[in-house]
């Protein structure tokens, strides 16, 4: 394929056997571009026929009508073939739902819009990089793929597959005796736009990784400081007491040591959660699937909760469903523990917290709902409650501690099991219900 390089087209010569109309073969240097005609199976363009010229000079007056018509007509076919090709890549592991990407159709449509523009409006070879549709689609796709754990090389492969399917369709629609200039100009523009898409995608990936890194460092420095300060203060007090000739009441010393231990445990849990959140944001949170029982997972999570909170918890199973499935039990326990922690934190001590275990047999799913009767969630906050660093306005207003990371982590874990999680609330003061839906057999 011809590739624009800067503002010039640099074509590397090489020698092949040409096919002439009379069947005689000759050795001549050719470009890599070719077109089919009725007279011959292959007609290649001699290098000397295309001097080193500005890309816009070659495209000036080119007719892109057949290109845009072909791409418009074959849009669904091209996108479906791209999806099938993407699904077959090892980084998608045959998971169609993992490979589906809303940004690729947007990129395709932006590319067609660019081709529809009156030639030679793209004469500045930077134009595709400045096209808002192409920029938005490629950046969005790159960020989405980064969150899924794809590497920059994987994203480049996806764009190369799109290029492949576009040219597969265009070759089938290539008009007989189409002017060579039109063919080359169309190819240059499509390649230029897709190269711009790759450039934008790689830049977006780099920015996304840097953003996650900076957020991790900022959050770690801010939120680890409090338990660390507590540990330092308690340790100093303990040292002073022990340095006395008569250290004092042993129970006071024990209480101080326990507070140090509790703060250290809190700091460890916080660091583990921040580490998980960062890995999740970059698609690197691992799952270790095995046969698991959701009822047992819930009871294990309850065993680690404060006794007074457990005392106000009501756990029921609807119609005695089969609560088993193929999940990562440790990660699912992490979700349950987080949902319980939120329910206890955002509700009064004299109100119940209800856990309901159910199942949808036709759908082969198991559901778990944790409902509290606490402060509730404003309707405008419901759509964002699972976003990273997102917290309901009334939670912040009431001074309830939190990072806005717990539900983000829950959502990531549940979706890694091919499940989904959602929140329901009738508004402030009416409590909140969080429901997790897990397929019994996750595809991963």
Output the domain CATH number for residue 425. 3.30.565.10
In the block, tokens 């934190």 appear at 345
Quickly state the pLDDT bin for 19 (edges 50, 70, 90). very low
Does any domain span residue 444? Answer: no
Where is pLDDT greater, at 228 or 293? 293
Encoded tokens for 355: 């856990």
371, 347 in Cβ contact below 8 A? no
Does any domain span residue 186? Answer: yes
Strand partners, 326: 291, 441
Q: Is 432 helix (H, G, I), strand (E, B) or coil?
A: strand
Same domain, 227 and 187: no
Of 278, 257, 143, the C-alpha closest to 202 is 143
Same domain, 220 and 171: no
| pLDDT greater than 70 at residue 222 | no
What is the pLDDT at residue 400? 65
Burial bucket for residue 372 (CB in 10 Å: 0-12, 13-18, 19+): buried
Buried b (16+ CB within 10 A) or exposed e, 416-441: bbbbebebebeebeebbbbbbbbbbe
Where is pLDDT greater, at 349 or 134? 349
Question: Which runs of E-coded beta strand occur in 284-349?
Answer: 290-293, 313-317, 324-327
Counting other chains too, the contacts that 107-110 makes at CB distance below 8 Å and 24 or more residues apart are 107/133, 107/134, 107/137, 107/138, 107/141, 107/162, 107/197, 108/71, 108/75, 108/78, 108/79, 108/162, 108/166, 109/75, 109/133, 110/134, 110/136, 110/137
Average pLDDT over residues 79-86: 91
Measure the CA–CA gap between 81 and 166, rounded to whole angstroms: 10
Measure the CA–CA gap between 60 and 242, rounded to whole angstroms: 87
In this structure, what DSSP letter does residue 13 have? -
Question: Which runs of E-coded beta strand occur in 59-141?
Answer: none
Residue length, the chain?
Answer: 444
Same domain, 423 and 327: yes
Handedness of CA 112, 118, 119, 124 (dihedral sign): negative
Average pLDDT over residues 293-297: 93
Residue 127: domain span: 53-210
59, 123 in Cβ contact below 8 A? yes
Same domain, 321 and 430: yes
Same domain, 37 and 126: no
Does any domain span residue 350? Answer: yes
Does any domain span residue 237? Answer: yes
Average pLDDT over residues 126-143: 75
Output the domain CATH number for residue 124. 1.10.490
In the listed set 161, 178, 210, which residue is the last one of a domain according to the structure?
210
Q: Taking the model in full, what pTM does it have?
A: 0.54
Phi and psi of 14, rounded to 5°? -155, 160
Same domain, 197 and 327: no
Same domain, 300 and 412: yes
Same domain, 195 and 270: no
Range among 114-128, 325-339, 354-368 rated most confident: 325-339
Q: What is the tally of structural domains in the chain?
A: 4
Measure the CA–CA gap between 40 and 30, rounded to whole angstroms: 16
What is the pLDDT at residue 439? 93
Measure the CA–CA gap between 3 and 5, rounded to whole angstroms: 6
Handedness of CA 309, 311, 312, 313 (dihedral sign): positive
Measure the CA–CA gap between 55 and 270, rounded to whole angstroms: 55
Give 362-394 pLDDT, tens digit per residue. 778 999 999 999 999 999 989 888 887 777 776
Does any domain span residue 14? Answer: yes
Phi and psi of 319, rounded to 5°? 55, 30
Of 13, 93, 88, 10, the C-alpha closest to 45 is 13
């Amino acid at each position: 394929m011809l590739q624009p390089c800067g503002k010039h087209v640099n074509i590397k010569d090489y020698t092949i056997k040409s096919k002439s109309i009379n069947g005689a073969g000759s050795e001549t240097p050719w470009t890599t571009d070719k077109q089919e005609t009725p007279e011959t199976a292959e007609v290649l363009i001699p290098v000397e026929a295309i001097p080193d010229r500005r890309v816009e000079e070659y495209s000036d007056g080119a007719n892109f009508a057949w290109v845009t018509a072909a791409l418009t007509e074959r849009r669904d076919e091209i996108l479906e073939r791209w999806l099938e090709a993407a699904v077959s890549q090892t980084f998608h592991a045959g998971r169609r739902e993992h490979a589906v990407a809303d940004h690729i159709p947007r990129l395709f449509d932006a590319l067609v819009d660019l081709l529809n523009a009156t030639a030679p409006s793209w004469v500045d070879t930077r134009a595709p990089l400045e096209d808002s549709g192409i920029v938005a689609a490629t950046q969005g796709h790159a960020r989405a793929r980064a969150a899924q754990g794809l590497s920059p090389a994987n994203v480049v492969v996806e764009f190369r597959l799109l290029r492949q399917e576009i040219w597969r369709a265009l070759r089938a629609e290539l008009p007989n005796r189409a002017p060579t200039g039109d063919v080359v100009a169309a190819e240059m523009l499509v390649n230029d736009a897709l190269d711009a898409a790759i450039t934008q995608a790689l830049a977006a990936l780099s920015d996304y990784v840097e953003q996650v890194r900076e957020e991790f460092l900022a959050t770690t420095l801010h939120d680890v400081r409090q338990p660390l300060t507590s540990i330092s203060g308690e340790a100093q007090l303990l040292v002073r007491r022990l340095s006395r000739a008569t250290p004092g009441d042993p129970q006071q010393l024990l209480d101080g040591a326990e507070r140090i231990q509790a703060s250290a445990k809190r700091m460890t849990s916080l660091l583990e959660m921040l580490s998980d959140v960062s890995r999740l944001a970059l698609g690197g949170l691992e799952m270790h699937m095995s046969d698991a029982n959701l009822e047992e997972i819930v009871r294990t999570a309850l065993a680690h909760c404060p006794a007074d909170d457990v005392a106000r918890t009501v756990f029921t199973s609807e119609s005695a469903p089969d609560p088993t499935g193929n999940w990562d039990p440790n990660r699912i326990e992490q979700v349950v523990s987080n949902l319980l922690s939120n329910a206890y934190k955002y509700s009064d001590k004299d109100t119940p917290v209800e856990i309901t275990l159910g199942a949808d047999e036709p759908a082969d799913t198991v559901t778990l709902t944790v409902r509290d009767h606490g402060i509730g969630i404003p309707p405008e906050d419901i759509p964002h409650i699972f976003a990273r660093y997102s917290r309901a306005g009334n939670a912040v207003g009431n001074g309830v501690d939190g990072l806005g990371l717990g539900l983000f982590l829950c959502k990531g874990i549940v979706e890694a099991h091919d499940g989904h999680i959602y929140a329901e609330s009738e508004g402030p003061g009416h409590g909140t219900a969080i429901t997790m839906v897990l397929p019994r057999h996750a595809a991963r």
